[in-house]
Structure formats: C-alpha cells, structure tokens
Amino acid sequence: MRTILITGTSRGLGLGLTRAYLERGDRVFAVTRRAPDNELLTLCHQYGKALQPIVCDLDRESAAERIQQALKGAELQLALFNAGIYGPPPTRLHSKRAWTRSDSSS
C-alpha cells in the first residue's frame, strides 16, 4: 500500500485518480477546495480511513500548513498536483496579490 497526495480531487481527473488509487489498495490524501460532496463523499464512505480528504484552497497561504498538518507522520510515495488555477494571465503577474481570487476578476 502506497500513500499518495492528490490535489483537485472534487471532480474530473483528480477524482478519477483518487478512485483508481483507492481501488488498487492505496491510501489517498485528497485535497479539495470544498467539503467532500457527491462522488468524493461516496468514496469517503466506501473506503473509510484509506481516503483522507484535506479541505483547503490552494491559492491561499494557509493551504500548505493545512496539508502539512494532515500529512503529519505519513510517508508519501507519490504526489500528484492536479489542481487547476484561475487567475490573471502571466503577463499581469506583478505581485503575490495578483494570484488571489479576490483580485482575479480585474
């Protein structure tokens, strides 16, 4: 059994990877922006302790600390950073603030 961290697990590729690794018998730390619902919640019930959701928004500074706390004591064999990012185009990146969601509409 491997221990795997996957980001962007609420839907799409991240959810599919989460399901596939759980089916192989691996332990998955699933990073998601919102509390698990629908398919991810079903997987939580189906796989119990093998699936550990980590609720955090990766564009927030607190995300790294939250993930680190959740992983405490775990030895990762694989990390898949699948989360997408929405924000200003690269030519407009002048500050850390430019990456925050509150500034992405400008």
pLDDT 10s digits, 28-51: 999 998 887 889 999 999 999 999
CATH number of the domain to which 21 belongs: 3.40.50.720
- 3-state SS assignment for residue 32: strand
pLDDT 10s digits, 3-31: 999 999 988 899 999 999 999 999 999 99
Domain that holds residue 33: 3-103
pLDDT band at 106 (very low <50, low <70, confident <90, very high): very low
Question: How many independent structural domains does the chain possess?
Answer: 1
Higher pLDDT, 66 or 86: 66
Q: What is the pLDDT of residue 104?
A: 46
Q: Which two tokens stand for residue 7?
A: 């980001």
User: Amino acid identity, residue 16?
Assistant: G
What Å distances lie between residue 70 and 4, 29, 106, CA to CA?
12, 8, 34
Helix (H) or strand (E) holding 8: none
